[in-house]
Amino acid sequence: MIGVLLGTRPEIIKMSPVIRECERRGLDYFIIHTGQHYSYEMDRLFFEELDLPDPDYSLDVGSGTHAAQTAGIMTGVEDVLTKESPEIVLVQGDTNTVMAGALAASKLHVRVGHIEAGLRSFNRWMPEEINRVVTDHISDYLFAPTENARENLLNEGISDRKICVTGNTIVDAVYQNLEIAKRKVSVLKDLDLEPREYFLVTAHRQENVDNRARLKEILKGLEGVQKEFSMPVVFPVHPRTEKRIKELGIGVDGLNLTKPFGFLEFLQLESQARLVLTDSGGVQEETCVLGVPCATMRYDTERPETLDVGSNILVGADSGKILAGVRSIATWKSDWKNPYGDGIAGKMIVMVCAAARSR
């Protein structure tokens, strides 16, 4: 039996190819949803949109301090794993769900498979970096998306026997879910947007939105982009970001602030944007796969492959650098080679897990 553990919307998206492959093969598996950022009820739309089965277990841990959240996830996951006794538990990415779930499984002597292993920003101020490192060093199977990620793991003394370079499940997810989006949504028409005639923005990271000076600079930079290019700047506002804007009393001028979109709507918007400005790691990957230029509002990234192939640049959280960065990439041609594989990562991961179960 395989346990699939997820807790945030990006994890649902990136796990979707793995879940579909388990379904296709008729494998015995179950899904735990921790509700790290939202309750399952709020995330139900994502499962329905992506044609995924409902989770078997919903922990509804919710937000809190890192310690409280980690403890709640470990306790809930331990109870489920004790009941189900899976041979392997799969976790994806770098959230508290990933680290806490891996710890709980490891202490019960359940094998752990870490999808998207080996990513490093080399910035320990980011809580996600700590989660990545801890999870990699207690996992039994490390599914690295690229050779660069594999090298990071080897440099930390992890055995090559544990590592499998699979590509990134985001490629599978983008290809599979774009087809679903074509059938289900028409968000450009709903927002009266023309392809390649708007910018798309996401911002949610703690180091950006919890810092008044940085958040103010980011918004100022986005306003400058809108004024200079005279194009809509569509900004689906993350609940955390909306809360901080209100708390800090920051004015916003000229931006098209919207509610958060479902993944299919967002994917459709992303695929047709002139360029995307973001502080999200997953969006850096998605734009690279989709052939859309990306300006990352951070000073480092655990997705260096996007910089190497020329799909992405780092512009930090300075308004002038954000505007200068957009000027430099707004006319880029999408002729880079996708470094994240050919869309079979989910199949490779499940194949390894199926083989592991028979040992």
Three-class secondary structure of residue 254 per DSSP: coil
Of 37, 109, 204, 238, the catalytic one is 204
Out of 129-133, 150-154, 251-255, least confident range: 251-255
Summarize pLDDT for 152-195 with one digit per residue, the tens. Answer: 999 999 999 999 999 999 999 999 999 899 899 999 999 999 99
Distance CA 305, CA 301 (A): 10
The terminus-to-terminus CA distance of the chain in angstroms comes to 12
Out of 7-11, 40-44, 287-291, 345-349, least confident range: 40-44
Distance CA 274, CA 119 (A): 28
Reported pTM: 0.86
Could you tell me which residue, 267 or 242, shows the higher pLDDT?
267
Q: In what order do the strands lie in the sheet with 57-58?
A: 57-58, 29-33, 2-6, 88-92, 111-115, 141-144, 163-165
Superfamily (CATH H level) for 183-329: Glycogen Phosphorylase B; (3.40.50.2000)
Instruction: Count, in order, helices (H) and strands (E) of the chain.
Output: 16, 13
Three-class secondary structure of residue 169 per DSSP: helix
Residue 37 CB coordination number (10 Å): 23
Distance CA 84, CA 72 (A): 19
Strands (E) located in 98-179: 111-115, 141-144, 163-165
Summarize pLDDT for 282-310 with one digit per residue, the tens. Answer: 999 999 999 999 999 999 999 999 999 99
Mean pLDDT score across all residues of the chain: 93
Residue (of 289, 55, 277, 278) closest to 178 by Cα position: 289
State which CATH number among 3.60.15.10, 2.60.120.890, 3.40.50.2000, 3.90.78.10 fits the domain covering 2-168+342-357. 3.40.50.2000
With cut-offs at 50, 70 and 90, classify the pLDDT of residue 65: confident
- The whole-number pLDDT of residue 39 equals 67
- The whole-number pLDDT of residue 245 equals 85
The segment(s) of the chain belonging to CATH 3.40.50.2000 are: 2-168+342-357, 183-329
Could you tell me which residue, 156 or 64, shows the higher pLDDT?
156
- The whole-number pLDDT of residue 238 equals 80
Summarize pLDDT for 224-254 with one digit per residue, the tens. Answer: 999 999 999 999 998 778 888 888 788 788 8
- The whole-number pLDDT of residue 358 equals 57
Residue 204 known to be catalytic: yes
Span 13-29, average pLDDT: 96
- The whole-number pLDDT of residue 357 equals 62
